[in-house]
Structure 1
């Protein structure tokens, strides 16, 4: 299955049991729910999927569950988040063998690489498999910025097809599209910049909070890409407080709590993360419940 980098591709949460182990049945059910609500693909084990907290065996198990459950209905993309190049290369090879269609590649974790090192890392990973590569650009989170000049060098690798843009600078979207055209798919990676990004030409969105509201997120993306910005703005304004939660350091806990409220899945997270408590938890509950009430009112 070839990736066309269009529509909503949720960065799926990794469902866990109370003891922290993988909840196979919940992972399967969550993927089926996303597909039934019209998503264009799924990213397993992105930041939202707690990639860095999973063991090597757990990572590969999650991919096997996803490939089996999705069964070719939409593309499966795997996050690749490793601390060294050798482990990244091995993961890319294993992911290809398991049967995913693409890799969303983080920069090497725990080390802030310079430009030469960053280019060498991404090129080496790209050459390790035949999978489509989605570059992950989150300089706030990882201290490495894939600027247009860096991207120009990386695009010499034919399997590098797309970039998840999360610099929070919308001018970067236009800079990338104007420079690389159809050679690079620029993907919105920030939930509360999606409408702005589509207005600038983006056609695909890797979303965290789409786990909680997949149907509404797909509707928003469809309205925006169809050019119906009047209706899209109306829906976006109802969702924006929820989408703002995707940009916080505790986005995993926030998204899992929202998903618990909307779909009943567990809030369990991998330590050192902890489930929300007290006033902090209630604040998120209030935002989710207000959003759902507003959506119900809109539907009347």
Structure 2
């Protein structure tokens, strides 16, 4: 299945049991809910999916579970987050063998590579399989910035078709679209910059909080892409306090708690992450409940 980079692609949370083991059934239920609410694809094991905390065997179990429940309805993109090039290439081959449609490739973890090393890493991963690649540009999180000049070199690899732009600099969106619009799909990777990004021409969004509220998120992007900014702003205003929680260190905990409140799934996270407690947890609950109330007022 070729990936059409249009619409909302939730960075799916990996559901866990109380003993921190992978809960395939709950994860599949979550994926099914997302697809039924109109998402365009699913991104398994991004940062939100706790990729770095999962054992190699667990990662493959997650992909198998996703493949089973998706059943060809939407593309499946797997996060690829490894500490060295050899393991990254091996994972790309394994994902391809399982029939996954694409990879969202993190820079090499734990090491801040320079431009030459970064280009070599991504090209090596691209050459390891025939899967489409979504570059993951998150310089705040990983210390590596895929600037337009670096991207130009990376686009020598034909399977690199998209970039998840998470530099928090909206001028980067314009620079990338102006320079590579006929070759590269620019995907918003920041929940509380989606309306701004869509106004600049972005039509795809990898979202964390769409796990909790998929249908309003899908509608927001549709309104923005259609140019209905009056209604998009109203919906965005209701969602933005919740979207802000996607941009902080504990985003996984906030997203899973929001899912728990709205959809009933477990909020368990894999240590060293710990569930939210006390005032921090109560604040998130209040934000979620306010967003739900405001959405009801708007008819959602």
Does TM, normalized by the shorter one, top 0.5?
Answer: yes
Partner Cα distance (1:201, 1:222) in 2? 12
Asked whether 1:95 is paired with 2:95, we answer: yes
Partner Cα distance (2:190, 2:18) in 1? 29
Shift of 1:286: 0.3
Number of the residue aligned with 2:9: 9
**1:65-111 CA-partner distances (Å, limit 9, x unpaired):** 00111000000000000000000000000000011100000000000
Partner Cα distance (1:299, 1:42) in 2? 26
Partner Cα distance (1:99, 1:64) in 2? 9
Q: CA RMSD in A?
A: 0.6
Asked whether 1:53 is paired with 2:53, we answer: yes
Shift of 1:132: 0.2
Shift of 1:297: 1.3
Partner Cα distance (2:102, 2:182) in 1? 18
Partner Cα distance (2:142, 2:180) in 1? 24
Number of the residue aligned with 1:38: 38
**1:163-203 CA-partner distances (Å, limit 9, x unpaired):** 00000000000000001112000000000000000000001
**1:48-70 CA-partner distances (Å, limit 9, x unpaired):** 00000000000000001001110
Shift of 1:254: 0.2
Number of the residue aligned with 1:191: 191
Partner Cα distance (2:131, 2:83) in 1? 20
Partner Cα distance (1:221, 1:260) in 2? 24
Partner Cα distance (2:262, 2:100) in 1? 28
Q: TM-score, normalised by structure 1?
A: 0.99
Partner Cα distance (1:28, 1:211) in 2? 13
Asked whether 1:244 is paired with 2:244, we answer: yes
Number of the residue aligned with 2:281: 281
Partner Cα distance (1:175, 1:206) in 2? 19
Partner Cα distance (2:182, 2:136) in 1? 18
Query: How many pairs align?
Result: 300
**1:2-38 CA-partner distances (Å, limit 9, x unpaired):** 1010000000000000000011110110000000000
Partner Cα distance (1:159, 1:124) in 2? 12
- DSSP 3-state at the match of 2:29: helix
- DSSP 3-state at the match of 2:158: coil
**Any gaps of 5 or more consecutive residues in structure 2?**
none
- Following TM superposition, the consecutive aligned residue runs of length 4 or more in structure 1 with deviations greater than 3 angstroms are none
